[in-house]
Amino acid sequence: MRVPEQPLTLDAALSDEAVLSTYRRMFAALARDSGAVVDDPVLVDIAETLFAAFADAGEEWLTHEQMRLACGAYPADQFDNRLRVLKGLGAIREVFPKPNQLRYRASFTSVVGLMFIRRMMDDGGQSEMHRLLALEDLNVADPRTTMEEARQSAAGLARAFRLWALELITLTTGTIEELREQAPKLWGTEEIARRAQSVHGTILTRWPELDRVCTDLRAAIYAYSDASRRAAGRLADSAGTTRNLTLLPTETWRTFAQTATKERLAAVLDGFVFDAPAPWHDPAAIARAVDEAPRPAPAQPTPPRSTLPDPGPDGSLGAAREAAVERLRELAESLLGGESRVALADVLGPDWATARRVLADLTTVDLRPELPYRLAWSDGLTIDPSREPSWLSHGHLERTP
Amino acid sequence: MTADQAAHARARAQGPLRLGPGAPAPAGMTRLSGPDSSGMALPVWPDGVTPSLLEEHQVPPMPVERAGETRRVLAAVLKCCWADHSADPWPGEPAPLERVLDTYRALIGRTDDLMRNWAIGALRRLHDSAWVVVAGGIVSLGPRCALWPVESHAVLKDLVRRIPEPERRAVPVVPDAGLVAAALPEPAAPDQGAGSRAEPGVAEFDDLLSGYDERRRAELVSAFMVVEHAAEPVQEARFAALRDPALRRTLAEMLARRGRTLVQQRERWISGYADDLVRDEPPGGGPGESERAVLTLVLVHSVAIPRAEGLLPEDSWLSPHPAPVDELRRHTQLPIGELESALRALRHAGLVTQVKAGEEAGGYVPGPQFHRLTPEARRRLQEELILAAGPDTPLAVAVRARRAAR
């Protein structure tokens, strides 16, 4: 540890400690333990889940159990580790600092820090730069701003743009894969360069003495715009025709499709030549189409229906196997009517549709060994065109002992 | 760029060309002369072949929307308009629209309103592709009917005989001839009525083809027809004139005379508009403003977005990811009526293909015409999309800078 050269006063120590504790809290969400930064994004997710739970809890704050419950999706050891670190760094603290405290509260600074970090991770700080520039623009226009503050602001911006440009230049000369991955996060839009120039313009108009610093800033902005364009150009050249469309984010495409006017959409295809519709209708194909014309369907007669009462299949479907057997037994008994043997010609019914059903049922009866009925066929055949069925094999339904 | 090349490109992009009185047809086109010696010009094919040659080679041609129905309606028009079977079908006689619809009704045996709507839709498609001309309730055969080869007229005669005469529900108050006479402007339109005749075109490839024996010549003509009319690029292994570099060179020269160029996709080939022609002398015509707007939307949804999500690696403007109909209907600035009629026109031209999936789902993907974009056109299309969607992005700046440097 470095020993301060000046004697440490109590006030100085206190203010140092205040700054340090803010820093620690800001990066608490990223710390693996009190001394290092996390290496697993899940650990950040735990912190975020916890902060969300705290926000929902309001002034009730949270107990240890409630915190565990909120993070139920994560393994217990990860949760404990995270809570220890967050507590150690002051991102989560006891509501009242006294022993055996059960309720905890979350630090506002840590939540804001986490939001900031998430955004930085998403777009490499572009939106932060936008905000920063907007704020600087307001600041330098504020009558209370001093020249010294403006100088610092201009110098700070110049440094940021230089570093930004340097990083892009390094990427542009590196591998194409790295460039493809990183560049869209780094290169700025025209908008950023415009805003920076507006800040520059305001400073220079108000304080012509700051000419030197402003020249620096101007150079840095140009360097940055140039590096952006160079990186985009190299990517566009190397990527050929396939990859370029990946370089605009999906959201940009959606916004374009949803908001563009008809004229703007149509202008994309100006100067492209397409074929007029010119299908070929060959005489043979025309003749084939005429032959295949759908013919009006003739009216179809309704299929014949049985005269036996037919409640439909709803009762038999899904019923127990025994029910089916029982129905067959009842049918056989009703046909036999107490006799031990009846001629089929007498029981088949008046028309073919009924006869067909009865015959089908009797055949089933015959094929079931557990039922005591059999069909016995003989060689005789009656042919009578006037009755139904006209062709009738001779046979008997018999009760077996 | 010669006048003939530009004329062929115009005929492909816009349909039959109008010719002033006495103006000769460009080489490789037939002249359809009206009674007043003005006329129309339509490309013909070498050695008397027609696109039905694709069928012999089992190469699918550009898909025809509702092909069966469209062709039956064309048959009905032919039945009504081809009065004198000793003459060629074209130009034939104009006929009232109602008679054509009655004939179609008798042909398919249906009389409901739906049938009438379908027939009207088919007539509109036939009109748009110059197979029939519908104007003021009068239908006549369109200029493309003049391209039916003489040998096939027997098939057509037989076909027309087989189509039943329509039952007239009542004797018309005004006879057909009177209706037609009342509807036609005086003097008769150049593509209708007596005095019209088709003059065969000047052969344009003979100097290229005469050096080859009969078999090679046939191979060249087949390959020419196939790359010009196929729905998709064809395998070079299947056509000698694509496989053999020397023959392919001759093929490229034949195409160049019509302002066309070969487009290669790995071992497959198709033809497209030559880049210098599109740049120096764009043929004009083509889809209207709302059609182009809808086509751009389809390209964004089915190509640009899937590609931004890394789902579409190839350098192609075709895509298996349909632009959802719902997205087009609800989340764009285009009125639904305009959208629907634009989609209909785009479908008919093969610029979009409908992908069906259930009643409401499904959507549109870029159609087979996108196979015909040259690498240069594909790159330009991509740049135009980037310039339109993200004009402030560094990518757009790079595109503009590169264009300025050229």
Best interface-test mutation with A: which of B5, B8, B71, B280 has the largest number of A CBs within 10 A? B71
Give me the DSSP letters along A61-112.
-EEHHHHHHHTTTS-HHHHHHHHHHHHHTTSEEESS-STT--EEEE-HHHHH
Q: Please indicate whether, in this complex, the C-beta atoms of B68 and A231 are within 8 angstroms of each other.
A: no
* Region B333-352 average pLDDT: 91
The C-alpha atoms of residue B289 and residue A264 are separated, in whole angstroms, by: 10
pLDDT tens profile A227-270: 887 877 777 776 555 556 667 888 889 999 999 999 999 999 98
Q: Is A293 on the interface with B (CB under 8 A)?
A: yes
Phi then psi for A210, rounded to 5 degrees? -80, 20
In the 8-state DSSP scheme, what is residue B357? -
Which residues does residue A395 pair with via DSSP β-bridges, in sequence order?
A377
Give me the DSSP letters along B163-180.
SPPPPPSS--SS-HHHHH
Sign of CA dihedral A54, A59, A64, A68: negative
Chain B residues inside the 8 Å CB shell of A191: 392
Q: Please indicate whether, in this complex, the C-beta atoms of B107 and A244 are within 8 angstroms of each other.
A: no
ipTM of the complex: 0.89
CA angle A231, A233, A239 (to 5 degrees): 100
Domain coordinates in residue numbering, chain B: 67-199, 205-286, 289-373
Tokens 């360069």 belong to A193
Comparing alpha-carbon positions, the chain B residue that sits nearest to A298 is B109
Phi then psi for A69, rounded to 5 degrees? -65, -45
Best interface-test mutation with A: which of B397, B399, B403, B406 has the largest number of A CBs within 10 A? B397
B281 burial (CB, 10 Å; 0-12 / 13-18 / 19+) is middle
Determine the pLDDT at residue A189.
64
B168 burial (CB, 10 Å; 0-12 / 13-18 / 19+) is exposed
pLDDT at B181 over 70: no
Chain A residues inside the 8 Å CB shell of B128: 277
Chain A residues inside the 8 Å CB shell of B309: 250
Chain A residues inside the 8 Å CB shell of B294: 265
The C-alpha atoms of residue A69 and residue A46 are separated, in whole angstroms, by: 12
Q: Is A308 on the interface with B (CB under 8 A)?
A: no
Q: What domains appear along chain A, each with residue ranges and CATH number?
A: 13-118 (1.10.10), 124-254 (no CATH), 321-399 (no CATH)
* Nearest alpha-carbon partner for A46 in A95, A91, A83, A89: A83
Nearest-by-Cβ selection for B393 from A189, A272, A289:
A189
Nearest-by-Cβ selection for A292 from B68, B129, B289:
B68
Comparing alpha-carbon positions, the chain B residue that sits nearest to A239 is B315
Best interface-test mutation with B: which of A172, A247, A250, A275 has the largest number of B CBs within 10 A? A275
- Cβ contacts below 8 Å, chain A against chain B, sum to 246
Comparing alpha-carbon positions, the chain B residue that sits nearest to A297 is B109
In terms of pLDDT, which residue wins out, A83 or A23? A83
Q: How many CB atoms lie within 10 A of CB B343?
A: 21
Q: Is A169 on the interface with B (CB under 8 A)?
A: no
Residue B324 DSSP SS3 = strand
Q: Is A226 on the interface with B (CB under 8 A)?
A: no
Q: Please indicate whether, in this complex, the C-beta atoms of B282 and A274 are within 8 angstroms of each other.
A: no
Fold adopted by B205-286: Arc Repressor Mutant, subunit A (1.10.10)
* Nearest alpha-carbon partner for B144 in B78, B193, B95: B78
Determine the pLDDT at residue B38.
79
Determine the pLDDT at residue A269.
92
Residues whose CB falls within 8 Å of the CB of residue A391, separated by 6 or more in sequence, listed in order: A381, A382, A383
Comparing alpha-carbon positions, the chain B residue that sits nearest to A240 is B379
Nearest-by-Cβ selection for A294 from B108, B125, B382:
B108
pLDDT tens profile A352-388: 888 888 889 889 988 888 888 988 888 888 888 887 7
**What's the full length of chain B, in residues?**
406
The C-alpha atoms of residue B185 and residue B320 are separated, in whole angstroms, by: 49
Fold adopted by B289-373: Arc Repressor Mutant, subunit A (1.10.10)
Amino acid at A235: L
pLDDT at B194 over 60: no
pLDDT tens profile B57-79: 999 998 888 888 999 999 999 99
Give me the DSSP letters along B268-282.
EEEEEE-HHHHHHS-
Same topology between domain B205-286 and domain B289-373: yes
CA angle B104, B106, B109 (to 5 degrees): 105
Q: Specify whether the backbone of B270 is left (phi greater than 0), alpha (psi in -120 to 50) or beta.
A: beta
